[in-house]
Amino acid sequence: MKLGYLDPKDYENWRMKRVPYLERVIKINLGKINFVMKTVRRNCQNGNLNPSWTGYKSWGKGNKINLRFSKSGEPNIEKTYATHFVKKSSVA
């Protein structure tokens, strides 16, 4: 959203199960999505950040389901989308 490729309303619709997968509402093509994700990953690794998987569940009434990011639902793609980068913890 901060890069302008995803509207907050589209994100909310995905979280509320109104959109089957997030790629459907991202405003750039898959090649550009891939480029952005690789660039973010490389910059985070260069900045000594740790990857951290985050589960995304639906919002709203009814059963909470795991949300899909990609049309294919391929596990490695889903894992890549759901990975955040966090500061490495300093152990004293």
Task: pLDDT band for 89, please (50, 70, 90 cuts).
Answer: confident
**Residue 27 lies inside a defined structural domain of this protein:** yes
Residue 53 included in any domain: yes
49 lies in a domain?
yes
**Residue range of the domain that includes 34:** 8-87
* 35 in a structural domain: yes
* Per-residue pLDDT tens over the stretch 16-38: 999 999 999 999 999 999 999 99
Q: What are 48-78's pLDDT values in tens digits?
A: 999 999 999 999 999 999 999 999 999 999 9
Q: Is residue 64 part of a domain?
A: yes
Nearest residue to 81 (alpha-carbon basis) of 53, 61, 59:
53
Instruction: Count Cβ atoms below 10 Å from residue 22 Cβ, excluding itself.
Output: 21
Q: Is residue 3 part of a domain?
A: no
Instruction: Look up the pTM and report it.
Output: 0.85
